[in-house]
């Protein structure tokens, strides 16, 4: 049985104040693509980019990325993505789309470097197009100035980097307003997340109890979805806002 191809897909700059968020559009795109090819789309990760006066953005300047496993041609992928972006993006947006096929892509380091750079300094569309052309990554703009191609390409790089980004949304595992204790195994089963990882990168064993309180978010850590925890007041607890800030 042949292995299904896996694509990495990122979009940026599709929204405006008061319109559908880029994360929602990315999630919808994943659903459309998966339905079209009978494949599976991964959760969407949000990657924070540099906030700077020279960079146009709506509220946060973040790119969205997800993986798709399924038999679909690059041409069909682009067609479906283009249709959605041009229909659902805000009128004032500058949408960009980037994607690559992981099974045939070998230039991870250069793309990761671009993604990390986009968190630290101002990059240009020329920078993005030159790199995409060199690496054979699809990059296209779908309205406005097309400035979103920079963030879209950076989103691919940051997802590949493996330790950047938060998963879209949050999880209700029954904690409500109170504190709830769950073993790691139950936490993974309820969320679908791949691992529970401490701030020092130690992976917690299945039987270890974790105290959950407040909003439970997952991050992209060690190249997979993970719930971050820290050991405080004699117990493992889900990471707080300060620990999640770097994601």
- 98-111 residue pLDDT tens: 999 998 898 899 99
Calculate Rg over the CA atoms of the chain.
Answer: 18
Domain end point (choices 142, 166, 190): 166
CB 168 within 8 A of CB 62: no
Distance between start and end Cα atoms, the chain: 37
Separation between Cα atoms, residue 134 and residue 24, nearest integer Å: 31
Q: Is residue 101 part of a domain?
A: yes
Please indicate, yes or no, whether residues 53 and 162 belong to a single structural domain of this protein: yes
Same-domain pairing of 156 and 228? no
Q: Is residue 28 part of a domain?
A: yes
Query: Do 89 and 125 fall within a single domain?
Result: yes
Domain endpoint, select from 166, 193, 215: 166
C-alpha dist (Å) from residue 23 to 13, 43, 130: 10, 10, 26
- Give the CATH number of the domain where residue 46 resides: 3.30.70.2200
pLDDT mean across residues, the chain: 90
pLDDT tens sequence across 203-220: 999 999 999 998 899 999
CA-closest candidate to residue 29, choices 15, 13, 50, 43: 43
Same domain, 134 and 184: no
| CA atoms of 64 and 154, how far apart (whole Å) | 10
pLDDT tops 90 at residue 90:
no
63 plus 26 within the same structural domain: yes
Same domain flag for 18 and 96: yes
Do 103 and 139 belong to one domain?
Answer: yes
Query: Which residues constitute the domain of residue 187?
Result: 170-244
Domain shared by 74 and 44, yes or no: yes
Structure tokens at 65: 């990325």
How large a percentage of the chain has pLDDT more than 70? 92
The confidence band for 1, taking pLDDT boundaries of 50, 70 and 90, is very low
Q: Which of 166, 187, 206 is the last residue of a domain?
A: 166
Same domain, 178 and 150: no
Angstrom distance (rounded) from CA 147 to CA 51: 14
Same domain, 115 and 23: yes
SS3 per residue for the chain: CCCCCEEEEEEECCCCCCCCCHHHHHHHHHHHHHHHHCCEECCCEEEECCCCCCCCCCCCCEEEEEEEECCCCHHHHHHHHHHHHHHHCCCCCCCEEEEEEHHHCCCHHHHHHHHHHHCCCCCCHHHHHHHHHHHCCEEEECCCCCCHHHHHHHHHHHHHHCCCCEECCCECCCCCCCCEEEEHHHHHHHHCCCEEEECCCCECCCCCEEEECCCECCEEECCEEEEEEEEECCEEEECCHHHHCCC
Residue 189 lies in a domain: yes
Q: Is the pLDDT of residue 57 over 60?
A: no
pLDDT in tens, 110-125: 999 999 999 999 899 9
CA 247/CA 219 separation, integer angstroms: 7
Same domain for 178 and 147?
no
Q: How many structural domains are present in the chain?
A: 2
Same domain, 109 and 45: yes
């Amino acid at each position: 049985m042949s292995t299904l191809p896996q694509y990495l897909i990122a979009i940026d700059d599709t929204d405006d104040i008061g319109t559908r968020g880029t994360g929602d559009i990315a999630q919808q795109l994943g659903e459309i693509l998966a339905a079209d090819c009978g494949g599976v789309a991964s959760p969407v990760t949000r990657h924070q980019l540099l906030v700077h006066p020279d960079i146009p953005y709506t509220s946060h300047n973040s790119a969205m990325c997800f993986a798709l496993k399924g038999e679909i041609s690059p041409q069909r992928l682009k067609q479906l993505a283009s249709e959605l972006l041009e229909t659902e993006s805000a009128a004032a947006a500058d949408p960009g789309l980037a994607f690559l096929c992981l099974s045939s892509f070998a230039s991870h380091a250069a793309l990761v470097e671009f993604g990390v750079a986009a968190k630290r300094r101002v990059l240009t569309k020329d920078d993005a197009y030159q790199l995409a052309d060199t690496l054979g990554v699809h990059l296209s703009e779908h309205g406005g100035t097309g400035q979103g191609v920079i963030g879209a390409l950076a989103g691919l790089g940051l997802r590949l980097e493996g330790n950047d980004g938060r998963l879209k949304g949050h999880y209700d595992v029954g904690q409500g307003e109170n504190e709830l204790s769950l073993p790691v195994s139950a936490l993974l089963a309820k969320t679908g997340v791949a691992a529970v990882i401490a701030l020092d990168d130690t992976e917690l064993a299945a039987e270890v109890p974790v105290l959950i309180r407040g909003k439970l978010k997952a991050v992209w850590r060690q190249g997979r979805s993970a719930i971050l925890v820290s050991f405080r007041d004699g117990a493992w607890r889900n990471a707080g806002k300060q620990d999640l800030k770097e994601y």
